[in-house]
């Protein structure tokens, strides 16, 4: 294993999708990479690739929901390699369901991983980045859904809107310490996310008044995942690599043609026109 002790990266949620590709890409580009995942049994493929290519990649168990586990894992990394240059907060999942049908527990669980998971790992890493020469870079995987609301996805999109606010705010307070914050906003990326997404318990039956809309939104998201024009996680990983190796990166990076088009439209159109466009696109039958 060719461990490059100069640059150390941690990626959360590396068992699949964007996290998997980002961990491999960072390791291929010389970062001593900790590919963290909550279920180590899912590490077989990444470990095989790392072994085959002699990559500086190690798997470590991190469940971003678990205070003690996060602290112990970061302590172990610091004990081993003394520094952390890049943290990619990627772990997350989707939650479908109209607000009326989501329990408070379901919404809290969504925030626990997608928002507080980021807070937890970032808080554990910040003292190390702040006290080391060269600072560090925090990369938060948001979404186009962190800028644009969508029906039946209010819990998920709220976590991403919150993540955007957190990231932009801390980008200011961490700058004096040489710590950079980058927000990645992917559009539709072909990963396992539709399979790992959960549906609100009350939303699953035909009796739900929102049933046709929930079906329609899930169907739309599934079709976008299967669309040959949707991006691959490799594209996201490339953008992350570009962002972390840039001397002076911008705060936000969108990934995928769909993502740039939506964000540009939001900037350029009137709010009313934009809201109508989103409704037309996502719930045409409700118009």
Residue ranges that bind ligand NAP, judged by CB under 6 A: 12-13, 15-19, 37-39, 42, 62-65, 90-93, 113, 117, 141, 143, 186, 188-189, 191-193, 196
Q: How far is the CB of 199 from ligand NAP (least distance, A)?
A: 15
For 130, the token pair is 């702040």
Q: Which of 156, 210, 211, 213 is catalytic?
A: 156
Q: Residue 148 or residue 189: which is nearer to ligand NAP going by CB?
A: 189
Q: How many CB atoms lie within 10 A of CB 118?
A: 26
CB closer to ligand NAP, 9 vs 193: 193
Beta bridge partner(s), residue 198: 95
CB of 144 to ligand NAP, least distance (A): 7
For 22-37, b/e burial (b = at least 16 CB within 10 A) is: bbbbbbbbbbbbbbbb
Element containing residue 258 per DSSP (H, E): helix 257-268
- Considering the complex, what minimum distance in angstroms separates the CB of residue 138 from ligand NAP? 14
Residue pointed to by tokens 């039956």 = 205
Nearest partner of 152 among 205, 196, 102, judged by Cα? 102
Give me the least distance between CB of 243 and ligand NAP, in Å please. Answer: 15
Of 55 and 259, the one with the shorter C-beta distance to ligand NAP is: 259
Whether 156 sits among the annotated catalytic residues: the reply is yes
Comparing every residue's Cβ against ligand NAP, the nearest one is 17
CB closer to ligand NAP, 32 vs 114 = 114
Q: At what angle do helices 154-174 and 104-114 cross, to 10 degrees?
A: 40
Positions marked catalytic: 156
């Amino acid at each position: 294993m060719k461990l490059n002790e100069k640059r150390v990266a941690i990626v959360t949620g590396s068992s699949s999708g964007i996290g998997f590709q980002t961990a491999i890409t960072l390791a291929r580009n010389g970062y001593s990479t900790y590919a963290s995942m909550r279920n180590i049994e899912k590490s077989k493929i990444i470990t095989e690739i790392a072994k085959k290519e002699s990559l500086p990649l190690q798997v470590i168990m991190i469940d971003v929901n678990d205070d003690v586990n996060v602290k112990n894992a970061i302590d172990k990394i610091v004990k081993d390699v003394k520094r952390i240059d890049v943290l990619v907060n990627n772990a997350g999942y989707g939650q479908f369901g109209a607000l009326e049908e989501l329990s408070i527990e379901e919404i809290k669980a969504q925030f626990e991983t997608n928002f507080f998971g980021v807070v937890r790992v970032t808080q554990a890493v910040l003292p190390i980045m702040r006290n080391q020469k060269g600072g560090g870079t925090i990369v938060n995987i948001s979404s186009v859904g962190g800028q644009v609301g969508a029906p039946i996805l209010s819990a998920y999109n709220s976590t991403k809107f919150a993540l955007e606010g957190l990231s932009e705010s801390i980008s200011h307070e961490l700058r004096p310490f040489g710590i950079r914050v980058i927000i990645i906003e992917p559009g539709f990326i072909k990963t396992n996310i539709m399979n790992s997404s959960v549906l609100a318990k009350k939303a699953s039956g035909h009796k739900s008044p929102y049933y046709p809309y929930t079906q329609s939104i899930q169907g739309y998201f599934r079709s976008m995942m299967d669309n040959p024009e949707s991006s691959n996680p490799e594209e996201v990983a490339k953008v992350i690599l570009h962002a972390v190796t840039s001397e002076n990166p911008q705060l936000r990076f969108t990934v995928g043609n769909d993502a740039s088009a939506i964000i540009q439209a939001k900037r350029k159109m009137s709010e009313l026109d934009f809201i109508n466009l989103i409704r037309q696109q996502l719930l045409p039958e409700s118009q």
